Amino acid sequence: MKRALISVFDKTNVVEFAKELTEMGWEIISTGGTSAKFKAEGIPVMDVSDLTKFPECFDGRLKTIHPHVEGGILAIRDNEIHQKQMVELGIDPIDIVVCNLYPFKQTVLNPDSTHEDIVENIDIGGPTMLRAAAKNYNFVSVITDPEDYSKVIEELKESGETSKETKEYLAAKVFEHTAHYDALISGYFNKKLNVKSPKTLTLTYEKKQDLRYGENPHQNAAFYTQIQETEGTLTAANKIHGKELSYNNIGDTDGALETLKEFEEPTIVAAKHANPCGIGSAETLAEAFQKAYDADPVSIFGGIVAANREIDKATAEIMSGIFLEVIVAPSFSKEALEVLTKKKNLRLLELPEILKSDYTAMKGRTVLGGLLIQDQDQKLIGEELKVVTKRQPSEKEMEDLMFAWKTVKHAKSNGIALAKDKTTTGVGPGQVSRIWALENAIRQGAERIQGSVMASDAFFPFSDCVEAAHKAGVTAIIQPGGSIRDEDSIKAADEFGIAMVFTGMRHFKH
């Protein structure tokens, strides 16, 4: 008689699966709650303690780790020595193992869970059975996902066996499942012990969706989400309208969100290729959007818009006149949705905790053959702001300098941001030369630059940027300082009557 050992926490469809096996003449072995459920449903079942002749003990911590269980799973059926030993030891084969694990993830995610609760939900016997069965997949079918029940039953009904291809597929799912499980556990302990750079790093993510393609149509892509602390991140957003997000949509929207988190008053961030292209802050969101649009009416076309307040009807009506790919906001009023959903392809994302940031999470970047990780860039300035020129910035200039500084922090390096009246007047991101970044920002802003302030993500190695800024009408500059030639820039600023502030902190973004 064929035998199946079934011990599951997630009991979805397990009763139906066991009934199908019983009808085909299989013997069912089970444990604890699973066994009790089968008995309640009238399914003949052998308790694992009757198989092992050893009681479940230590509050169920020890049930299945026993030679009569693991031996029945691991023995190689066409190995004469193994077969002889099975007879000598009185071990009968187990042909199917069905197991899913204690809910460690759900326990970790529960804010009311204690450390003791979490540790108690580290499964021991389950992974042991699963790994044993997966290792011996040539002879044992192992199921950890209820979605695979029907596939196994169908093959058993057709041929009396699970195909080798299916067994191998099921085994691969097991090792993926247990690796994910163990990574969650190690991640929990690393966080608890504040270990940021362990000797070996095992990360785990869950697939959120397959994507049509990556950066380009010939590249495959998928979107994965981390398990914990996703509040305020794009992975927690709810798409309420429009097409599926693309690979580039996701990257660009994430860039817009990072920038938006710097601002507390009603603010709109328009982004293109993950760089801010227009930012506006105002008393109302509609005014903020108009500012962001006016900052760069060209680049916002086909761009991403992030808002830190509910999208109301007035804002939606202005937005509707422009081609946008994505709008992400904490919420949308009913009237705003009536306006925006007329555009069938426009993606609308709700992210209630849009300003929440988890600065304990590490940021990673893949390189060929490796991974770079670092703390998030959570700070804005060094110990203090230092005015290094003869002229002090006015109160309004200082307000705009901080606005520009928040903007340039999120522009790719080398980055320059120009701003006036809490609005960007020019952004020059991602240039190999700082003067080129400034020249691009000036070209973008044209006559609007007059009276603007300037922010640079890193120091000026030469005074050329100060000179170019003066010619464009810039009145104040904020930069990290720290160049051996700082005095050249300070001297030029004094000559032109420009106020200059050092932050003592650079913000490279590569």
- Annotated catalytic residues are 135, 273
Q: Which amino acid is at 501?
A: V
By DSSP bridging, strand 476-479 and strand 424-428 are unpaired
Q: Which amino acid is at 127?
A: P
φ, ψ for residue 12, nearest 5 deg: -60, 120
- 3-state class (DSSP) for residue 8: strand
| CA–CA separation, 463 and 29 (whole Å) | 80
The rounded radius of gyration (Å) of the Cα atoms in the chain is 31
| CA–CA separation, 412 and 37 (whole Å) | 58
Q: How many helices (H) and strands (E) does the chain have?
A: 18, 21
| CA–CA separation, 420 and 473 (whole Å) | 11
Residues 6+ apart with CB under 8 A from 217: none
| CA–CA separation, 362 and 190 (whole Å) | 12
| CA–CA separation, 92 and 85 (whole Å) | 11
On the 0-12 / 13-18 / 19+ scale of CB atoms within 10 A, 358 is middle
By DSSP bridging, strand 476-479 and strand 453-456 are parallel
Q: Which of 146, 111, 2, 123 lies closest to 63 in space, CA to CA?
A: 123
| CA–CA separation, 497 and 107 (whole Å) | 61
Please compute, for residue 301, the number of CA atoms within 13 A of its CA located in the half-sphere on the CB side: 3
Q: Residue 408 is encoded by which pair of tokens?
A: 């340039």
CB 379 within 8 A of CB 406: no
By DSSP bridging, strand 141-143 and strand 96-100 are parallel
